[in-house]
Structure formats: C-alpha cells, structure tokens
Amino acid sequence: MIEEPEAEYRSGIGTDIHRFAEGRKLMLGGVYVPYPAGLAGHSDGDVCLHAVIDALLGASGMGDIGTLFPDTAPQWMDADSKELVLIVKEKLEGKKWQVVNIDLIIHAEQPRLEPVKGQIKRFIAELLGIDFTSVNVKAKTNEGLGDIGAGQAIAATAIALLRKKKRRTL
C-alpha cells in the first residue's frame, strides 16, 4: 500500500508601496486602472503583484522580491510585473509548492477600486493557475492619513498560503 505523508503548509506576507508618478500607467494586480498617474518604480510599479510576489517568496522560504529582482539590475527596468510573477511561479513549481490561496489588500485613497477588484482577482487567479475563489481582493482607504491618505501613494499587503505537493512513498 502506498501512503502519502501529511501535506506541509506555509504562509507568507508581502507588502509594497509606491508614490504616484506622472506619465506612467496605473497597473494594479496586472490590470490597467484608468487614472491620471501611475506608480513610480524600477519596474511597472504594480504594488499588488509585488506584494503577492513577496508573500509567495516568503511562504516558500526563497527570499524577497528585492533579492530576486534587484532595482539595480537593468533587465528589470520597466519590467511587466506579471512576468516577474511567472518567474516566481516557475520557481515554486520547481520546489513542488502549490498556491492554495492569496488574500490581497490594496491601500489607496484614490482611485476608487470597487469597479476593478473582480478583474484584479481574476487576473491573479489566472496568472497563478488557481481557482478564482482562491483569491480575495479588498480595497481600503487610509482615512486621510499619511502619504496614502493624502493621495500621494498606493500600497498593498498580501498573504499567501502554499501547500507542498505530496510525495508518494513506497
């Protein structure tokens, strides 16, 4: 009889914050959000995907986004963050990790994100190859406090749960 050991679960948390910058497209969770400014950053400044990447890397014990994609490396200049997520996904698969779920909070005073939360959820689920119901997206304001509350920045916080793929034993 073949027995399978209990699955190992690990969680990780990721955060990111970027200031608004004129002349850039606002990308949140891989979705273009119409707004007069985007977010400054070495890559496309997508705080949502950056937080998800950090959560995935943390859960898997593979470091952080700054180590894997340093802002001093020219190949990551203006990089599309979805490409960075795909690189991380490939690394997770190589280490036999499966994404169980993602919970994401977007901290923004503006723009209003209710109209795009479902699109962000769908994009992240498709990008990671997980069920739509395994991703949750929330939007919160900072009640006028700090750089986010003043409408000068957007931040994101994500948590990821990973499950180690079961190995068959003889």
Domain boundaries, the chain: 9-164
**Where do we find the tokens 């929330």?**
138
Cα–Cα dist 108/34, whole Å: 14
Instruction: Decide if pLDDT at 1 tops 80.
Output: no
Packing angle, helices 81-94 and 117-128, rounded to 10: 40
Q: Which two tokens stand for residue 107?
A: 């901290």
Distance of CA 11 to the CA centre of its chain: 14
pLDDT of residue 169: 58
Give the pLDDT score at 77. Answer: 85
Rounded to two decimals, what is the model's pTM? 0.92
Confidence of residue 70 (pLDDT cuts 50, 70, 90): confident
> How large is the average pLDDT for residues 9-28?
97
pLDDT (mean) for 13-19:
97
Distance CA 22, CA 40 (A): 8
Q: Which two tokens stand for residue 169?
A: 């034993």
**Could you say which architecture CATH assigns to the domain 9-164?**
2-Layer Sandwich (3.30)
The confidence score (pLDDT) of residue 132 equals 96
Candidates 157, 130, 161; CA nearest to 60 is 161
**pLDDT (tens digit per residue) in 95-124:** 999 999 999 999 999 999 999 999 999 999
Banded pLDDT at 165 (limits 50, 70, 90): confident
Indicate the range of 45-54, 57-66, 70-79, 126-135 predicted with least confidence. 70-79
The pLDDT of residue 90 is above 60: yes
Average pLDDT, the chain: 93
- Give the pLDDT band (50/70/90) at residue 140: very high
DSSP code of residue 80: -
Q: Is the pLDDT of residue 167 over 70?
A: no
